[in-house]
Amino acid sequence: MSNIVEANKIKTNKISQIFADQKAFIAFLTAGDPSLDKTEEFILAMSEAGADLIEIGIPFSDPIAEGPVIEAANERALSASTTTDKIFAMVARVRQKTAIPLVFLTYINPVFVYGLERFFKSCQEVGINGIIIPDLPFEQKGEILAIAHAHDVDVITLIAPTSQDRIQMLAREATGFIYLVSSMGVTGVRSEIKTDLAAIIKDIRAVTQTPIAVGFGIATPEQATAISQLADGVIVGSAIVRIIAEHGQAATEPLSHYVHKMKAALV
Amino acid sequence: MSKGKYGIHGGQYTPETLMNAIIEVEKAYAHYKNDPAFQAELTELLNEYAGRPSRLYLAKKMTADLGGAKIYLKREDLNHTGSHKINNVLGQALLAKKMGKTRLIAETGAGQHGVATATAAALMGFECEIFMGKEDTDRQALNVFRMELLGAKVHVVTSGTMTLKDAVNQTFREWTTRVDDTHYVLGSVMGPHPFPEMVRDFQSVISKEARAQILEKEGRLPSAVIACVGGGSNAIGAFYNFIADESVRLIGCEAAGKGVDTEQHAATIARGSLGIFHGMKSYFCQDQYGQIAPVYSISAGLDYPGIGPEHANLHDTKRAEYVPITDDEAVAAFEYLSRTEGIIPAIESAHAIAYAMVLAPTMSKDEIIIVNVSGRGDKDVAAIARYKGENIYE
């Protein structure tokens, strides 16, 4: 990235700040769905509508942690010739307009093949605050941690309903926020979340002050209200991607409306 | 700390949702692999049910016709269910039983692994669901009916390239939704640790037998062992007990599809690069951004964009060689072995036969080649006819 981008870049807010005195609403979308220009517009619109952090999905050919809704978004983005380089350029443009924390969500292969040093250096240059890599478990993250931290990128820890005896080991080293997976399976809208989140959250709180955001399956304001009573933040992906799939180029308004409604539901 | 490494390859790149399930398999396998009662029970199943040991057959006509090295065929095609896949499946199904699981899920490409898994499920009383790409359910329709006949539910995978890689994706997704009662019977020496090691151990019976058989028949080791490679389970099984015998060349035959200079191949070693996918670090066919490439082979079982981590390391250390074989070469070998020896090999195995046809004439008559015939070709007959322009359907 060029020095010009550096010069115009807005200094970003830290991830931890968004949880300081409120419950956070975290919105996910897939970069390049339906186009990178639209992704830029959607990010800014959701930010203005009340989103506190945006997760930007770097599309991958084989997103094994995703359900059909986000998987289809990955396919649409790749069909539109979205690449990691073009996504960095898009983020650099977004960074000239907003200070909202931005986090990448992608799989380990696009990061590894791009080159770890090159990838995280670019993240720092364009102002990415963190990264979520579903197929990089605790045992393997040592490979990227030092490089990511050297470039001020938090590697977000995922905790699942099946983590059980692993919870405290995972939580102890978490930075940025903890992504608590609400239910088993892949991403996608669910009518009911059965996991005993309160018990897991209690285990996490015993070892860390790092904020906890809950994702997977959350779509309605009612669900958002319920989750926000337990956790520090609510993450919504598939429901947003579905709005984009349905409205395409014209999704900006419905997205703003949805994010505003969801943010207002947090207590 | 990283487990299950083969040189720089391997590891355990699994979503957190599956980590405890994987660790459970790892612990159970570490225990039972050293348990004499488990091993005795598995040997009994392999011998009495699957029909082991498989024959090491001297292909006299083929040897005479090619005019070089003596060719032996390791007849994994004669196993119950018609391929080497049953070796691994019986091992994993028995392990799943010991772990108290009641449901088996598996991916399949050509359908052989799905059939083997459905068979073991029927035998041992598991619920069974198989995931298979739409491309493959079309070209291997017979195997879909076989799985259903055996009581399995077959899910047609319509995402991505609709082949083996996508079937693996979907089986992993299914596993994350239900881990408590379910074991994922991974079909090749790939995926996160402990799968590459466990599947290799279960398949290494091939080379354990073949080494003893050749020493008994010939009193010496072969000059080369040849096997086809997709993920690489039959090849690692055929190589494993020869790895320490440095005089034995180990040769894996990759699917070159329409040629390694086209975009339509699955030749991971010839054209792939280092990556991390499906739980392991290894070589993959992919682009400069790490997007996994759509691969192609006439053979559904070799139509996979990666290779098991132990093979990647055998390549790095130059202990094994990997050669690309095109569709045309494989089809010619399929017909050649059928006519010459009266053995119809799986189109996957025909890739290994094809390279034996190239190599044997360059070797002296006192040298020996062992070719692993990993499966039988009945399932491929209709597809080969279509390839030859004859419009027959199953």
pLDDT in tens, A210-255: 999 999 999 999 999 999 999 999 999 999 999 999 999 999 999 9
Residue B292 Cα, gap to closest chain A Cα (Å): 6
- For residue B107, indicate whether it is catalytic: yes
Please give the Cα distance from A188 to B17 (Å, whole number).
15
Query: Among all chains, which residue has been given the structure tokens 């379910």?
Result: B182
Whether A84 has its CB under 8 Å from any CB of chain B: the answer is: yes
One-letter identity of residue B22: I
Select the residue from B289, B292, B295, B304 to test the A interface by mutation, using most A Cβ atoms within 10 A: B289
Residue B353 Cα, gap to closest chain A Cα (Å): 33
- For residue B374, indicate whether it is catalytic: yes
**Which of A81, A6, A88, A73 shows the shortest CA–CA distance to A40?**
A88
Secondary structure of residue A152 in the 3-state scheme: coil
Query: CATH topology of B5-46+85-199 equal to that of B51-82+204-387?
Result: yes
Residue A4 confidence (pLDDT): 46
* Mean pLDDT for all residues in chain B: 96
Token pair belonging to B89:
């499946």
Closest chain A CA to residue B272: A113
Closest chain A CA to residue B3: A139
Whether B27 has its CB under 8 Å from any CB of chain A: the answer is: no
Whether B191 has its CB under 8 Å from any CB of chain A: the answer is: no
The sign of the torsion formed by the CA atoms of B222, B228, B233, B236 equals positive
Do A163 and B16 make contact, defined as CB atoms within 8 angstroms? yes
Token pair belonging to A82:
């979205």
Residue A3 confidence (pLDDT): 46
Do A137 and B15 make contact, defined as CB atoms within 8 angstroms? yes
| pLDDT mean over B330-336 | 98
Q: Is pLDDT above 70 for B1? A: no
Q: Lowest-pLDDT range, A164-173, A183-192, B91-100?
A: A183-192
List of chain A residues whose C-beta atoms are within 8 Å of the C-beta of residue B176: 65, 184-186
Closest chain A CA to residue B192: A135
Residue A9 confidence (pLDDT): 72
Closest chain B CA to residue A69: B159
The sign of the torsion formed by the CA atoms of B265, B269, B273, B274 equals positive
Please give the Cα distance from A228 to A197 (Å, whole number).
11
For chain B, percent of residues with pLDDT exceeding 90: 93
Whether B286 has its CB under 8 Å from any CB of chain A: the answer is: yes
List of chain B residues whose C-beta atoms are within 8 Å of the C-beta of residue A158: 15-16
| pLDDT mean over A168-183 | 94
The pLDDT tens digits for A27-44 are 999 999 999 999 999 999
* Residue B222 preceded by cis peptide, ω within 30: no
Place B224 in a pLDDT band, splitting at 50, 70 and 90.
Answer: very high
The pLDDT tens digits for B289-319 are 999 999 999 998 999 999 999 999 999 999 9
List of chain B residues whose C-beta atoms are within 8 Å of the C-beta of residue A159: 16
List of chain B residues whose C-beta atoms are within 8 Å of the C-beta of residue A62: 160, 165-166, 169, 277-278, 292
The pLDDT tens digits for B127-177 are 999 999 999 998 788 899 999 999 999 999 999 899 999 999 999 999 999
Q: Is pLDDT above 70 for B6? A: yes
List of chain A residues whose C-beta atoms are within 8 Å of the C-beta of residue B166: 62
Task: For domain B51-82+204-387, give the fold.
Answer: Rossmann fold (3.40.50)
- The arrangement of secondary structure in B5-46+85-199, i.e. its CATH architecture, is 3-Layer(aba) Sandwich (3.40)
| pLDDT mean over A91-120 | 98
For chain A, percent of residues with pLDDT exceeding 70: 96
The count of C-alpha atoms lying within 13 angstroms of the C-alpha of B259, restricted to the half-sphere facing its C-beta, is: 2
Q: Is pLDDT above 70 for A7? A: no
**Which of A215, A230, A221, A213 shows the shortest CA–CA distance to A259?**
A221
| pLDDT mean over A64-79 | 96
**Which of B224, B244, B246, B228 shows the shortest CA–CA distance to B236?**
B228
Extents of the domains making up chain B: 5-46+85-199, 51-82+204-387
Count of helices and strands (H, E) across chain B: 16, 14
Whether A135 has its CB under 8 Å from any CB of chain B: the answer is: yes
* Mean pLDDT for all residues in chain A: 94
Q: Could you give all domains of chain A from N- to C-terminal order, each with its CATH number?
A: 3-10+22-265 (3.20.20.70)
Please give the Cα distance from A218 to A227 (Å, whole number).
9
| pLDDT mean over A45-73 | 97
List of chain A residues whose C-beta atoms are within 8 Å of the C-beta of residue B276: 108-109, 112, 135
For chains A and B, count residue pairs whose Cβ atoms are closer than 8 Å.
Answer: 121
Catalytic residue, from B26, B76, B107, B341: name it. Answer: B107
Mutual orientation of helices B85-98 and B195-203 as an angle, nearest 10°?
Answer: 120
Token pair belonging to B142:
């017979």
Q: Is pLDDT above 80 for A2? A: no
Tell me how far apart the terminal alpha carbons of chain A are, to the nearest angstrom. Answer: 40
Token pair belonging to B391:
């419009």
Cβ–Cβ < 8 Å for A231, A241 = no
Mutual orientation of helices A252-265 and A36-48 as an angle, nearest 10°?
Answer: 30
Whether A168 has its CB under 8 Å from any CB of chain B: the answer is: no
Of A62, A68, A142, the CB nearest to B277: A62
E-strand spans in A15-81? 24-30, 53-57
Residue A230, Cβ neighbours under 10 Å: how many? 15
